[in-house]
Amino acid sequence: MSQPGLKGVIAAETKIGEVDGLNGKLIYRGYEIRELTKKLSYEEAAYLLWYGEIPDSDELLEFKEFFYQNRALTPVMKGVLDVLPSDMDMMSVIRTVLSASGDTSYGWKPTLEQAIGITAKVPTIIANRKNKLEGRSYVIPDFSLSHVENYLYMLDDTLPRPEHVRALETYMILTMEHGMNASTFSARVTASTESDLVSAVCSAIGTMKGPLHGGAPSEVIRLLDEVANQEDVKAYLSGKVLAGEKLMGFGHRVYKTHDPRALALKENLMGQVGKDEWLDLALSVEAAAIETLHELKPGRALYTNVEFYAAAIMKALQLDSSLFTPTFTASRMVGWTAHVLEQAENNTIFRPLSKYVGK
């Protein structure tokens, strides 16, 4: 029996992560994501996905030193970044500049060192592309800052607020990995041909660029902007639902109950109450929206998804919408490369069949 889109078809076995939509769980290497975001930094979560275990203090120190040292772009990559046309979108910029790093040292099999090196460079590409478009000079990474803190620093050339760092770090941990999604599948298919790691990652970036997969939470931000000017939030949301409009940021095609990533983000933001107006607004809007949906759509499992709180974080950070999917990409680099490395361990080329229905 054919399965359009391969829905429900198991294409690979993995030890990296599991998406349990029925029970609302996301697992990284045997750990529930909500527990990880309470105690791990981005670096520790990345180490877990790449190495399969949480590092001790010595392992983490050595890992961070190598990870941070790889942030700088090579002269070739910087040269390519400098000459790209100004109307090229950010996802295409990331893909093109990373392609310039794929020299003869990137062969089969991919290595963990390559994965770390590529992941470390993506924030540098994004930030300096933004700087160039805004007429600012190239910003050199600060090798003393954490991965997320350095990303925010390079975007604005100023040290970010701690609550903003922690909010974005939580988001980037939550979006590192999400099972056999479209972009991860693309990366594994490319790797299965024994192509190099850069090519596999560029396949994933091309897939993430599509709005059906890497769509940014722009619609949620539009909702927050609208609600910010309303005296009675619940009445305004009720009016939208009764008019047949969808409340963006609620419901998910995989999770049939609470989205665990949204719950983890909310837990983080509860500790930031009173420190940022947009984060405070998101918490109040969620409460009103859930109450409204339960009243007007009883029996429907409509809960907050990760895009809702992601939008609040992006708004608080004042990130332009053009940076939403690239930031998602910067976090997912860890999951993509982990899957490519796993594919290479016991490789079989992907070669599904097609059913001929023509003349």
Q: Which of 147, 164, 178, 252 is catalytic?
A: 252
156-180 tens-digit pLDDT? 989 998 988 998 999 999 999 998 8
Q: Is residue 2 part of a domain?
A: no
Find out whether 343 and 12 touch, Cβ atoms under 8 Å.
yes
194-205 tens-digit pLDDT? 999 999 999 999
Domain that holds residue 121: 17-213+323-345
Last residue in a domain, options 300, 316, 332: 316
Q: Which of 43, 307, 339, 342 is catalytic?
A: 307
Clarify whether residues 209 and 226 are in a common domain. no
- Confirm whether 307 is a catalytic residue: yes
- Confirm whether 258 is a catalytic residue: no
Number of compact structural domains in the chain: 2
The pLDDT value recorded for residue 215 is 63
Q: Is residue 4 part of a domain?
A: no
% of the chain at pLDDT higher than 70: 91
316-344 tens-digit pLDDT? 788 888 898 899 999 999 999 999 999 99
Q: Is residue 254 part of a domain?
A: yes
Clarify whether residues 120 and 205 are in a common domain. yes
Clarify whether residues 256 and 340 are in a common domain. no
In this structure, the number of other CB atoms found within 10 A of the CB of residue 341 comes to 21
Clarify whether residues 82 and 192 are in a common domain. yes
Closest CA to 97 of 114, 85, 80: 80
Q: How far does the chain reach from its first CA to its final CA, in angstroms? A: 20
198-235 tens-digit pLDDT? 999 999 999 998 877 766 566 788 888 888 888 888 88
Closest CA to 322 of 166, 111, 153, 91: 91
Per DSSP, 276 falls in state: -
Q: How far apart are CA 96 and CA 219, in angstroms?
A: 28
Clarify whether residues 194 and 244 are in a common domain. no
